[in-house]
Amino acid sequence: MSKTLTFEISEDLYESFDHIARRDGKTTEQVALEYLARRAAERRPKLSEEERRAAQERFRRHIGAVSLGHPTGADNESIDRDLAQEYADTHEETQ
């Protein structure tokens, strides 16, 4: 649902919106609304500590949820082997 809001703005601000509207092929109202929407998004209230913790907990539930189908290792031998394979690969596609 949308609401109608009517208010007065300075001549300078109107001219700025109008210039952008003519340049971009939009109405002055569209430009003003887009500006207000961007500014509102920038000023959204920060999460409370409780909301932040709840969001982190929801995120943590996904950690480790994807399986590559094979074990992965962080040992040096595995890393060295993977790097050697990549360096040896010319990455040229065979036809």
Q: How confident is the model at residue 34 (pLDDT cuts 50, 70, 90)?
A: very high
Q: Residue 28 in contact with residue 14, Cβ under 8 Å? A: yes
- Measured distance CA(47)–CA(56) in Å, rounded: 11
pLDDT at 81: 87
User: What region does 91 belong to: left with phi over 0, alpha with psi -120 to 50, or beta?
Assistant: left
- Measured distance CA(29)–CA(35) in Å, rounded: 10
Q: What is the pLDDT of residues 14-30, one digit of tens each?
A: 999 999 999 999 999 99
Q: What is the pLDDT of residues 36-85, one digit of tens each?
A: 999 988 887 788 999 999 999 999 988 877 777 777 767 788 888 888 98
pLDDT at 95: 56
- Measured distance CA(14)–CA(17) in Å, rounded: 5
- Measured distance CA(44)–CA(31) in Å, rounded: 20
The DSSP H or E segment spanning 42 is helix 28-42
pLDDT at 94: 61
